[in-house]
Structure 1
């Protein structure tokens, strides 16, 4: 007679992390009950999420065949448990019958194969706990409408060109400098590439937002306009070669 692995201390109805197996002789009296439709009800020691339940089940099914028992029976028990949880009782019963699995109590908590090996499934593989926490899928639409974008608060921004002329632009504190350059280009026909914006002596990049500059509504931004193209470097000319003096005529 071989030994059989019992449930861990404090584990009720296969709720713990026991595996199962071991040759325990034929089931008592050879009784075989049909698989019950109702699933066991149990409560976890702590609120369990759906992801934690899946991880716990995967760990059990991955390690169960390493214990005593036959792998094909473990596979059949897993398929039957999945079918039973999906409320497909007929399929679960057919899997159990096809694998010649005997159910003395009509549940998968304790069962035997045709060789008399004993198998025990923990309750968390048969049904979710009563205190299961549902996890909302990212793809699942939410009933809560998305927050509205804050209204755009515009004000008149004063920029002073290097020509000495002041220009007013319609701006908001969230506008980047690159956006305002395009607005100035549309109003004054000044290419954005020829504009350099300064505030408090600091050059403002295109990605800088007005709110980052700490500018107030009555402040002025300096805009240096450079329309001059870089002068081309003149090609050095070769000085003409002086004529070779002719030799005096010979007598």
Structure 2
């Protein structure tokens, strides 16, 4: 997340010129921002995308809470800086906005007018049971995820050429993977295959489990004929006229007696 707080810091570097007030104008105890991030566990395993959505929802609605929008913006910038492991930047943002931290954390803080601000823990650190999101092409085993063994079955495929065959497949396989298997088995290029089920064209990223296919169902595969190389017109070669064979016409001269 390098450089992820630049846009927030620029705002505070330009607009927050009131200086640092370590007691926030309230006379209350003000602790330096702690480097340790809170540890917490979500009620359910949360993906990185779900965590981002949850944070975005909070920051989008935070200005509607009690307090001032510019303070909420400063708190967001400080939280992002902490997640980038830039503690000094986070502390500078807090000081520049004259935010008081009675406990040295952003979970409870005050502005110089005495308004109270509270940040949920999920905005300050990811949960310990965060699930890493993996792409379709990443099949490496992860210690965080237990991958169940694939249950394979024989998928019946009917080609437009009239030929029926069976492929070894699992419900987690994609159509793109099955196209490669068909290519290896029947020497039909994947680009020349169009897979249909229930009248619907199946894309390469579609998984069998998404098609609701059941045992003994048939998938139709339209095979586009490969472009045949065009024969270039050739000038007919004239048939050579056979040369008449010279007959041995030597006449026998009468023997002279």
TM score, norm. by length of structure 1: 0.48
- Structure showing greater radius of gyration is 1
